[in-house]
A and B are shown apart, each in its own frame.
Chain A
Amino acid sequence: MNDASMFRREEDVAAAAALRSDRFRLEREGDWLRLERIVEQMEKGRPGRIADDEVRALPTLYRTLMSSLSIARESSLDAGLIAYLEGLALRAYYLVYGTRTSFGAWCKGFFGGALSRAVRSIGPDLLIAFACMIAGAIVGYLLVAHDTDWFYSLVPAQFGDVRVPGASEEVLRSTLFDTGAKSQDGLTVFATSLFSNNAQVAILAFALGFAFGVPSMLLLVHNMALLGAMMWVFVQRGLGMEFVGWLSIHGTTEMFAILLAGAAGIHIGRSLGFPGQRSHLAVMREAGQRGAQVMVGVIVMLLCAGLLEGFARQLINNTGARYAIGYSILAFWLVYYFLFARKRAV
């Protein structure tokens, strides 16, 4: 590209143009096209290809464009030109006021404090969700203790095939402790599909917060009732401690994750129901974004839970070790969420 000759040609055309507004355009279009090239590269995610002097020129070019647009609107009737300027101005505006952090920097800020602060900021909702889960577990346990038929209506048929009321201790014990390598592979697959399933329960509990949080609470109660019912089956055969150990190794992480997800849903529902002095939309936006941060934490926790379930539970066949691992991980989550990054709280 021969810049000098192009420039001369443009000058000729500018001199020849009949209209003042066309001369205006021809004098400035070089800057606009230069900005458009920069915007193009940035949109493609290749800021490295922009030369240093172009980067330095960017603020000036952006302001030139904005003032060109204002002038063109007041002095030109060239609709094509104005459409171009508006389109380019909007693209540049979105870039200038777009997400500024890189993905890496966002991760650092997020896991280094923002996540913990988001969890702490929905404290009351955590208490509500926790109460729902405790209530659910107790109700499930008591219902089945009262009448074993409740078990079949609480627990889906394919979920616990051998783990039903009246199963022998031997059968139940075999589901808790691995005996051969054969069942191990099947269990790994099962664990992962369960991870995926639990992730969906968590997302469901969050998203259902829309309906004033009521479905989120019901979902928590129902899930824990299922657990309470299962608990009763094992307690009947004197395997309560072993069952809790089997569950704890990944369950502490997983149930904590579901608790957080439910609390995030309740948080949205609560701000929808009681927005206070401010508009529904503004309150919901804040609640939604706070909830979304918590949900990213939830998904990370569910991934950890899936790994623990898939590998650690099969490898560790000792109830004491299971308790130790499960609860030290729970302690880690509690410290991370409730004690970490307190000083920088904004």
Chain B
Amino acid sequence: MASASLPAQHVNPKLARILVTPEGVAMDVSVATAGARLGALLIDIGIIFGLLLGFFLLFLLIGWAYSVSGLPALNDGFAAFMIVTVIIVLFLARNAYFLFFELGPRSATWGKRSVGIRVAARDGGRLSAEAIIARNLVREIELFLPLMFMVSTGVQGGLTTFAGWAGTIWVGIFMLFPLFNRDRLRCGDLIAGTWVVNSQKVSLGAVVATGETAREDGKALSEHGGRYQFSEDELSVYGEYELQTLEKVLRADNVEAQETVCAAICGKIGWNPGAGDERAFLEAYYTQLRARLERNMRFGRRRADKHSQG
């Protein structure tokens, strides 16, 4: 619980977008990076491959069990029926996998879930079933058909150098397509009116400075700071950026980082850093700095960082 990530600060500003809900609340969404998309795709392909492998092993097992059990040999019609089943399964597996998961409530395949991205409608409206179908049908042409063509002709030995290069360039163009537009749209996204956005699950972290450390000494932080009291001048050296850096340090709860930050703050405000009580010192400073900045915020005065005025 203690380590809620702060995604807002990691997002590449080029990928940040604003979505206004019907309630009028502007929400920050960020377009998934090409790397995350590729990672998700590779995981999905791995999963499909694994599922198919499992299916075939089961098939072989049944066949083996049947032959061992010494039942009368099957007629050819049944064997043909089994082969038909295999061909249909091959065809359906990759189409059904993507459709099934992206039509679900999370609009993401296992691969997308694992890297924390999902499909959404580009205009902020409802994501329709038609859109999901469209974006996945185009994936066939972008990726699976040329790859299957190359593999099957390659196995048969009929793949010419020209066809090989043409296929590679074809796949390459479609794979690189997302890098050449602002919203990282694949051709399928373009057609379907969808995009892929980040959807990390953020858990609610604890209150940063509860004052527990200070209260051990008998005084609650609610009475402003316990042993540590900072003057207005000592608090006015930092802005919101520094406050949030301090928040991260407190949430991470790393003793060495706390010592470094403690020394830096003491150097800045001209205190002598003591040893062994960094956490209490930082919590007190954090609480009072935040109280000051939030008070100013209510009066409409915000201060981005230590370099700006306020």
Contacts and interface: CB of A to CB of B under 8 A. Distances in A.
Contact of B137 (A25, A26, A97, A203): A203
A93 B28 CA distance: 12
A203 B297 CA distance: 57
B80 A185 contact: yes
Given A77-B294, A189-B83, A203-B145, A63 B23 contact: yes
B140 interface: yes
A268 B187 CA distance: 12
A175 interface: no
Contacts of B191: 210, 268, 284-285, 287-288, 291
Interface in A38-71: 42-45, 63, 66, 69-70
Q: Is the interface of A mostly helix, strand, loop or mixed?
A: helix
B120 A66 contact: no
Contacts of A87: 7, 199-202
B25 A88 contact: no
B21 interface: yes
A289 interface: yes
Interface stretch (B51-59, B62-70, B124-132): B124-132
Nearest to A33: B204
Given A42-B105, A285-B193, A98 B204 contact: no
A99 interface: yes
Interface residues of A, number: 82
Given A185-B79, A188-B84, A289-B192, A83 B202 contact: yes
**Which of A19, A45, A63, A181 has its CB near the most chain B CB atoms (within 10 A)?**
A19
Given A77-B243, A77-B293, A204 B141 contact: yes
Contacts of A26: 207
A106 B209 contact: no
A159 interface: no
A75 interface: yes
Given A42-B105, A93-B21, A285-B193, A188 B80 contact: yes
Interface string A73-115: 0111111111110111111011101111101001000000000
A290 B91 CA distance: 23
B25 A21 contact: no
B193 A288 contact: yes
B297 A83 contact: no
**Which of B106, B134, B291 has its CB near the most chain A CB atoms (within 10 A)?**
B134
B275 interface: no
Interface range on chain B: under 10, 10 to 19, 20 to 34, or 35 or more?
Answer: 35 or more
**Which of A45, A81, A292 has its CB near the most chain B CB atoms (within 10 A)?**
A292
B105 A289 contact: no
B190 interface: yes
Contacts of B192: 285, 288-289, 292
A200 interface: yes
A295 interface: yes
B41 interface: no
B205 A98 contact: no
Given A19-B287, A75-B294, A284-B190, A89 B27 contact: yes
A75 B297 contact: yes
Contacts of B209: 18
Contact of A66 (B25, B193, B211): B25
A208 interface: yes
Nearest to B244: A79
Interface in A121-137: none
A199 interface: yes
A317 interface: no
A43 B105 contact: yes
Given A185-B76, A192-B84, A91 B199 contact: yes
A98 B130 contact: no
Contact of A204 (B88, B91, B128, B145): B145
**Which of A44, A84, A193 has its CB near the most chain B CB atoms (within 10 A)?**
A84
Interface string A161-190: 000000000000000000001101110110
**Which of A20, A66, A99, A284 has its CB near the most chain B CB atoms (within 10 A)?**
A99
Contacts of A200: 140, 145
Contact of A289 (B193, B205, B208, B222): B193
Contacts of A235: none
**Which of B23, B28, B104, B126 has its CB near the most chain A CB atoms (within 10 A)?**
B23
Contacts of A36: 204
B140 A22 contact: no
B207 A293 contact: no
Contact of A82 (B8, B87, B190): B8
**Which of B79, B129, B190 has its CB near the most chain A CB atoms (within 10 A)?**
B129
B9 interface: yes
**Which of A74, A106, A207 has its CB near the most chain B CB atoms (within 10 A)?**
A207
B120 A310 contact: no
Contacts of A20: 294
Contacts of A193: 87
A97 B87 CA distance: 38
A292 B105 contact: no
A80 B4 CA distance: 6
B27 A93 contact: yes
Contacts of B199: 87, 90-91, 94
B234 interface: no
A84 B205 contact: yes
16 contacts: A16-B221, A19-B291, A32-B204, A42-B105, A79-B244, A83-B4, A83-B5, A94-B118, A97-B21, A186-B80, A200-B140, A203-B137, A208-B141, A289-B130, A291-B191, A296-B133
Given A185-B79, A210-B191, 10 more contacts: A16-B211, A18-B287, A29-B204, A63-B23, A77-B290, A80-B6, A81-B204, A87-B202, A93-B27, A292-B131
